[in-house]
Amino acid sequence: MRGQSAVEYLLIFSAVLVIFATVTFGQMINPAQEAGRDALYLSQARSAADAIAGAMDSVYANGQGAVKSVGFTMNCGWGLYLENAGGEENVRINIETSERVENVRGSLRYGFNDSLQNLSAGTYTVIVEWPENVQINEGITPDAPADIENNKIYIYIKPFGGGQQ
């Protein structure tokens, strides 16, 4: 009798321990997944901001007629902002993580104010150009509605005195 009750207590204690471990393990994994996903999104945003800033600086340095394209992947929704405020020129990529909206910046030598918001996840090609054609306005633009579907973004730069007549 005594041995049987000890086995029953042991079985009940084991069942409670298994339930406790299952609940605790699930709550430990979920925050780790969110932190990993957020780190991936921030890394992709940093890479994209640096790539776009590098392309813009390269085109600016090479002068009128220069073109450079860069490709990158974003696994979350994002927004692209070019900023020229307070003496700081930046490419800013805005993403939403599990806790808040994050802004990742890349510094520019030449910038202006424009934005393209609410872009979906995907692989994008950004084409930066200093056009020889003076009719093209400076700014971020999908050249046509089909370009957004093909994930192509055009950035036209036209510095002051940049060959305009």
pLDDT per position as a tens digit, 105-145? 888 888 888 888 888 899 999 999 998 876 777 788 765 55
Residue written as tokens 């003496």?
Answer: 87
Tens digits of residue pLDDT in 81-92: 998 877 788 899
Q: Of 5-14, 40-49, 104-113, 130-139, which gets the smallest average pLDDT? A: 130-139
Q: Are 118 and 124 in contact (CB under 8 A)?
A: no
Distance CA 134, CA 100 (A): 41
Over pLDDT 90: what percentage of the chain?
35
Using a 10 angstrom Cβ sphere, with 0-12 exposed, 13-18 middle and 19 or more buried, the burial of residue 53 is buried
Distance CA 128, CA 57 (A): 10
Among 105, 108, 116, 92, CA closest to 159: 108
